[in-house]
Amino acid sequence: MKRVFILIILVCGLNATYAQLAEKLHQLGFENIQVTENNRTYTVAFEDNVYRGTYRGIGKAIQAGMEGIQTGALEMVVLHNQIPQLCITLTEATITAYKQKEIGLSDVYRQMGITTATDEATNKLKQTTKINSSKWKTDIVFYPDVTLENFSFDKLYHYAVDLSPALQTSPWKGAMITAQVVFPILTNMNGEHTRIRPGVIALSQEIRFKKNWQGRVVAGNFTENRIGVQTELTYRTPNGRFEIGGLIGSTGYSEVNSKDGWYIGTNQRINAMLKGMLYMPQFNMEIKGEAGRYLYGDYGLRGDLVRHFGEYAVGVYGMFVEGEVNGGFHFSIPLAGKSWKRNRMIRVKPADYFAAEYSVESYGKYLDEKMGRTYHTRPDENRSARFYQPDYIRYFLIKEINK
């Protein structure tokens, strides 16, 4: 099988080193592989849909890339849903020293360049052949959902435990189709929580612009009983330590009930936010802030402190909305299974993470006027997935080696 794979690449006009590089990454299960060479620098693009989190798969790819070339430098573009996220560079001197066992893998990670600026590298790959495309490959992912709220005096807590499988597939670059169904497992609440109902059912499109600008448009059925469209635009600095952006959404009400079945309201609500993020590598901590109009027309501010412990993320937050103060905590924890290869067109797997948020104020004016409400447009919204922060990735790659 290996010989057939290499032969196919050679027939396409690639040399032996190209074939070896592509084969190493393909063996790991990586997708959307592209390879080119210019002035003794091999430029490679790959997408990791195998390993949980962001840094573990990147570490595997770096090792495979160094093994796949005899001489020269290495430039690696990390993709997510075929959209460039990071560019990693390794000099010929670093690769040679590693192969001659003069330095270890942790030294390689310290010496490598890593940036969110990918324009130059991706331009080199424009005319290359894509190997092991992710197009139309489908995941069926089982998401656990837990709701825990304290907003009445007759019960200590209102709770709901759901299992929410979602079909997810990418039909073209940057696009994602999601179709989710929510199955109630255990609850002491009434109404919709007792019924099978739609979850996130949406089509999204991500776009990478020049100079580290990235956009996303999504239309469909979202969480918090919303249906509509949302647009986001974000800028990141090359070192990934500062991010600024905004979003605007227009949504109507969506609910499954016993009278109307799936009821969709026509009255639209506008929400809009300006957001910012500062990453402090000394503490592996994000400082995040947002200001704007929440779902039900109230205006306010929110600040978060998020600490990253490898794939675990724990944070606290505070809000000031229409003169009212609120706060709470949130977390994201990895679930079982560090890697899941896609050997066929359909893969069935559990969710990578479980995330939850607890609010101190969930009654009184905050409940009655639905203050500070937002919604999610992804079924896997959490603070660990898609975290392509250069300092974070370098730090935890080194830490994994030193364990």
- Write down the number of H helices and E strands in the chain: 8, 20
Q: Which helix (H) or strand (E) holds 203?
A: strand 197-208
**pLDDT score, position 363:** 67
DSSP 15-52: -HHHHHHHHHHHHTT-EEEEEEEETTEEEEEEE--SBS
Last residue of a domain, one of 101, 133, 165: 133
Q: 119: domain range?
A: 2-133
Domain finish residue from 133, 165, 184: 133
162 in the same domain as 58: no
User: Of 133, 163, 194, which residue sits at a domain end?
Assistant: 133
Any domain includes 398 = no
Nearest of 224, 242, 172, 250 to residue 389 by alpha carbon: 242
pLDDT at 147: 81
Same domain (yes/no): 8, 152: no
Asked if residue 400 belongs to a domain, the reply is: no
Same domain? 290 vs 229: yes
pLDDT of residue 151: 56
Report how far residue 1's alpha carbon sits from residue 110's, in angstroms, rounded to the nearest whole number: 36
Q: By the 8 A CB rule, do 326 and 317 touch? A: no
- pLDDT reported for residue 222: 98
Q: How many structural domains does the chain have? A: 2
CATH assignment of the domain containing 18: 3.30.300
Question: Residue 311 in contact with residue 351, Cβ under 8 Å?
Answer: no
- Does pTM top 0.85 for this prediction? yes
Residues 177 and 85 in one domain: no
Verify that 45 and 155 share a domain, yes or no. Answer: no
Query: What pLDDT sits at residue 85?
Result: 98
pLDDT at position 369, please? Answer: 81
Q: How high is the mean pLDDT in each 10-residue block of the chain (403 residues)? A: 46 66 94 94 97 96 95 96 98 97 97 98 93 96 86 64 96 98 91 90 97 97 97 98 98 89 92 98 98 96 97 96 92 94 93 92 74 95 95 97 81
- With H, G, I as helix, E, B as strand and everything else as coil, classify residue 79: strand
The reply to whether 98 and 173 lie within a common domain is no
Rounded to an integer, what distance in angstroms lies between the CA atom of residue 376 and that of residue 349? 21
Residue 155: the pLDDT is 56
Q: Are residues 68 and 145 in the same domain?
A: no
Determine, yes or no, domain membership for 399: no
Judge if 72 and 206 occupy the same domain.
no
Beta partners for 73?
41
- Does 339 share its domain with 261? yes
